[in-house]
Every structure is written in C-alpha cells, then in structure tokens.
Amino acid sequence: MEKVEFLKSVPIFSELKDDTLAQLSRSGSVQSFSKESIILSEKEAGSALFIIISGKVKISRISTEDDDREVILSILNPSDFFGEMSLLDGLERSATCTAMEDSKILIIQRNDFLKLLEDHPEVSIALLQELTQRLRAAGMKIKALSLKDAEGKVASVLLQLADDIGKIKHGVVEIEKLPFQHELANMAGTSRETISRTLHAFAKKGLVELEGSKLRIVDYEKFKELYGL
Ligand code: CMP
C-alpha cells in the first residue's frame, strides 16, 4: 500500500486532506523490524511517534519486584500508533515495544507531529479520543489484575482481546489467533497453567470454543454480563 493510502487508514489521520497526508508521508521514514526485535525500550529517551504499517506490536513492562515478570499492557495492530507519551511529555519511554511478527513501522519525528497537531485540531481531538480509550482500558486492567479469582482475570483478558482483535458475527466473537498461553498469562497476571485450566473450564461451561489457536466467545453479551467490569 502506498504511504498516503496507508496514512488515510490510520484513524487519527482519517480527516486529513491528501496534500497534508502527502506532506506527512514525506517527513516520515519506514523501518522494518523482525519478529521478537525490540522497537523501543522502557526508560530510554525518545521522541518519535511510531505507526504500525504491518505486523503486531506488544507493549509490555517488566515488574522487577516479581522475578522480572513481564506484564503485557496491550497488543497493537496495523494502523495503531505508539510512542506518543514520550513525544508529548519529553519523559522516558513508559514501556517496551516489541515486534511480535515481522513488522513495518512508519516513524514520524516529534517536530513534524507537533506541527501537525497545531495545524489540525481534528488530529489532536482524535488523538485525545484514542488516549481516553487507552486510559479506560488501563483502568479495566488495574481492576482485572486486582481480582482474586482466576476466572475473572482470564475473562477480562479475553474481553480485552475481543475488543482489540476479535470479529463479531451474530453475537459470537471470534479471536482468530489467540496469543500463546505464556503471553496470555503475562496479560492476566497469572501463570500459564492457570490460563490453560481456566480456558478449559470456560469451554466445559460452553462459554468458549477452542480450536487450535482460534477461540470463540459463544455468547459475547452473556460473557460480558458475567465478567465485564
Ligand atoms: P512511550 O512512553 O513514548 O513509549 C512506550 C509506549 O507504549 C507509550 O509511549 C505508549 O504509546 C505505549 N503504552 C504505554 N502504556 C500503554 C498502555 N497501558 N496501553 C497501551 N499503550 C501503552
């Protein structure tokens, strides 16, 4: 896909005219990252904005108090952006961002992005809307991690994935490629064994169907009623 076409598909830029998108695409550079490579690291300095053209990016933090356990904050997909926090507040990177697949990323430098925000308030508003959604998701995550029981923790990760990468059809949500169990464990703040046991318990109750790396939430509304926060 051509750079301008791609930028048009990015929700925060969807209102921009072609000439502005063309200018933005000229100022950005494209970089490829192979699977598992670190795109940016927690605590380093940085000021660029990253937009995923293709691939998948894991946003995580390492909890040093807990055997260097990784906590996955989010998994981002094409057209999603990251790196806006350091760009905006000038502080160190708040999390580590790792390519989960071979990924292509568009990198926009701070000054170019700030100029865009100044000239196009609609981009600023769209950015604020996206950040508000992330704040809501982070609030849900805090609540989910503080839950005592495994079912609640695992269910809230499934609800987060349904929101991020699920496809809904006739009340059924299908998650085509469920993250690996150790990744689900890091998202839920629990162990891989608990993930396995709880997913099978959900399947036994008829709440989900598992088929290879595919997971279906059989009745999404009911599942939300049971486990939504
Ligand atoms: P920055 O702090 O510059 O670098 C790490 C990036 O990870 C950060 O900007 C955000 O883009 C992203 N990030 C940090 N915390 C979260 C979160 N809770 N949910 C989604 N993305 C996040």
Q: What is the pLDDT of residues 36-46, one digit of tens each?
A: 999 999 999 98
pLDDT at 132 over 70: yes
pLDDT at 1: 62
* DSSP H or E stretch at residue 92: none
pLDDT at 163 over 90: no
Ligand 1, atom 16: closest residue by C-alpha = 73
Instruction: Indicate the pLDDT class of residue 60, thresholds 50, 70 and 90.
Output: very high
- Percent of the chain residues topping a pLDDT of 90: 72
pLDDT at 81 over 80: yes
* C-alpha 141 – ligand 1 centre gap (Å): 14
pLDDT at 78 over 80: yes
- Cα–Cα nearest to 99, from 46, 41, 24, 27: 41
Please compute the mean of the pLDDT values over residues 84-96 and round it to a whole number. 96
Q: Which of 5-14, 67-76, 94-103 has the lowest mean pLDDT?
A: 67-76
Instruction: Indicate the pLDDT class of residue 137, thresholds 50, 70 and 90.
Output: confident
Say whether 48 sits in a helix, a strand or coil. Answer: coil
Please compute the mean of the pLDDT values over residues 47-74 and round it to a whole number. 87
Mean pLDDT for the chain overall? 91
Higher-pLDDT residue of 147 and 186 is: 186
The identity of residue 187, as a single letter, is M
pLDDT at 195: 95
Question: What angle (nearest 5°) sits at the alpha carbon of residue 204, between those of residues 199 and 206?
Answer: 95
Q: Which two tokens stand for residue 31?
A: 């970089």
Residue 72, strand partner residues: 60
* C-alpha 175 – ligand 1 centre gap (Å): 23
For helices 150-165 and 220-227, give the axis angle rounded to 10 degrees: 140
Q: Which two tokens stand for residue 82?
A: 């990251």
Best probe residue, ligand 1, of 85, 100, 163 (max atoms within 8 Å of C-beta):
85
The atom of ligand 1 lying closest to the CA of 87 is 3
190 near 142, Cβ under 8 Å?
A: no
134 near 147, Cβ under 8 Å?
A: no
pLDDT at 145: 77
How far, in Å, CA of 109 to CA of 139, rounded? 29
* C-alpha 210 – ligand 1 centre gap (Å): 31
- Cα–Cα nearest to 100, from 178, 159, 211, 46: 178
Q: What's the start-to-end Cα distance of the chain, in Å?
A: 39
Best probe residue, ligand 1, of 74, 86, 92, 164 (max atoms within 8 Å of C-beta):
74
CB-based contacts of 210, cutoff 8 Å, min separation 6 = 199, 200, 203
* C-alpha 84 – ligand 1 centre gap (Å): 7
The atom of ligand 1 lying closest to the CA of 95 is 5
- Cα–Cα nearest to 144, from 131, 133, 154: 154
